[in-house]
Amino acid sequence: MGQAKWRARTVERDREREASLGMGDDDPGQVVQQVGKSVWHGIGGEVTVEGWVLEWWQKKGYKGYHSESSILTTLFALLLWPVLFHSLPGAFETPYQTAPLDLGEDTFSASRTELLESRLQAMSKTSVALEMLDEVDRRERPRGTWAVGVNWEFPAEDLREVLECLGGKGLSGVCRMLAEEYRHRVSGVPDLL
């Protein structure tokens, strides 16, 4: 097949595909190409699919965030603050670090076993986890302290609600997994919460 015929068949096939997607209906000779993420019609105009889903749930009286893993990493850091910032030789080289140097390594939880297990056990009771969260949040939020995974844009009350929904025991399990393999577990979390 010649180059011109091949190109003509490719353009025709693309036009048929786009017509089947409802694209280019205004002008049958116009070829519209879809590039990037899909766009949805939301309350205030175009939104991503995540934005559309959040609006759908909002209409039903629910609240949510397109946060990827940032709500969970924020809760992890705030709940395990004393573990994260525990002074161990070699973990902190400067006072400006936002995390210990070994956080993403196998040694992080192993070198803090007693402190970590004590904190995880205590936080498995939701009321205690809420107290832990409040204590660190009240102290660090006004300063806007930079710490690994923390996003201060989430209101304190919303963080409390998420903790209450997941429960202390559930969040203790999430924190354990992040403490054991932070680098590998911070991705792959559902986009919406």
Can you give the residue ranges of every domain in the chain?
1-35, 40-64, 70-185
- 3 state SS for the chain: CCHHHHHHHHHHHHHHHHHHCCCCCCCCCCCCCCCCCCCEEECCEEECHHHHHHHHHHHCCCCCCECCCHHHHHHHHHHCHHHHCCCCCCCCCCCCCCCCCCCCCCHHHHCCHHHHHHHHHHHCCHHHHHHHHHHHHHHHHHHCCCCCCCCCCCCHHHHHHHHHHHHHHHHHHHHHHHHHCHHHHCCCCCCEC
pLDDT at 52: 87
pLDDT at 149: 96
Helix pair 156-180, 70-79: axis angle to 10 deg = 80
Amino acid at the residue 128: V
pLDDT at 9: 53
Give the N- to C-terminal CA distance of the chain in Å, as an integer.
53
Which residues on neighbouring strands pair with residue 179, listed in sequence order?
none
73 and 81 in contact (C-beta within 8 Å)?
no
In whole angstroms, what is the distance from residue 19 CA to residue 84 CA?
55
Low-confidence spans in the chain with pLDDT less than 50: 6, 10-11, 14, 17-25, 29-32
